[in-house]
Homo-oligomer: A and B are copies of this chain.
Amino acid sequence: MITPLRDRDTLDVEGLQRLVEHLIAGGVHGIFALGTTGEAPSLSHRLRQEVVRATLDFARRRVPVLVGITDTSFTESVELANLCATAGAAGVVTAPPYYFPAGQPELCEYLDDLAAELPLPLFLYNMPAMTKVSIELSTVQHAMRNPKVIGIKDSSGDMIHLHRLVELSRQRPDNWSVLIGPEELTAEAVLLGAHGGVNGGANVHPRLYVQLYKAATAGDLPRIRELQRQVLDLAGQLYTVGRHRSSLIKGVKCALNLLGICQDGMAEPFRSFREPERGIVRERLVRLGLLNPKA
């Protein structure tokens, strides 16, 4: 879930409420707040806390809410996790600390220490493009011995790694979940044993991703191929407007704003799309059938 912002360090509270309703109406099976698409590392700790409280408030336990506590500071991660527990989150999610690249044995120790302090179950989050270090298989295997660690979200884009994670997950008798980050890979991940997707595009069009997930669990190949093309089309249209790697989040936020759901403020170091990018996103939403051209 993106974080709707009104201005610098200011949550768009009504926008967040509408977004939560939009997601739940779209059929999502859970919400992941304060992840990469949620710009969590760019938000002040005060604002992160506000997001946690408001999201859980608005979700009213209709779906489980996971919250990202990834931080370069162990202490800040634990503090946020404590708030998450109080506020009613189902679990917390952490990527490796993202300033100093830790070696895998160091990462194992870090995860041990962190899990010991957490009041909630922990999902690992593999995001090497941002954190510089991968959570390697040996580290996942280590972390799986801890019953508090209940799954992994893999955003590496490396499907061989994903398949190995699915193989590993069979070692845990309880439900150890492997979720895939990039939405273009959800279909094949679920077809070959992964348990779901945490896809940024679901902010804009949750039903599409829920349908894809359902088609994949049902093994309905013709439907999967049709929905997969829609997913590729949406990503190809909405995430490629700007020149920089920030284009994905900017595109999603701009689309949500054009759809009347929330403000499109971005946290520094980014700024939201203005014209002409905004006009391009509008056209593409129309082309995708998501916006009435007369709107």
Contacts and interface: CB of A to CB of B under 8 A. Distances in A.
Interface of A: 8-9, 36, 39, 41-47, 72-76, 79, 96-103, 105-107, 109-110, 113-114, 130, 132, 157-160, 163-164, 167, 182, 184-185, 187-188, 191-193, 219, 221, 224-225, 228-229, 232, 236, 243-246, 267-271
A147 B169 CA distance: 46
Contacts of A193: 225
A187 B188 CA distance: 9
A238 to B, nearest CB: 15
Given A159-B157, A225-B193, A72 B232 contact: no
B41 A102 contact: no
**Copies of this chain present:** 4
Contacts of A157: 158-160
Contacts of A130: 99-101
A201 B166 CA distance: 21
Contact of A246 (B46, B106, B224, B229): B106
17 contacts: A8-B74, A41-B100, A44-B76, A72-B72, A74-B269, A97-B268, A98-B99, A100-B130, A102-B269, A107-B269, A109-B269, A157-B158, A157-B160, A160-B185, A187-B192, A192-B228, A193-B225
Contacts of A163: 184, 228, 232
Contacts of A114: 268
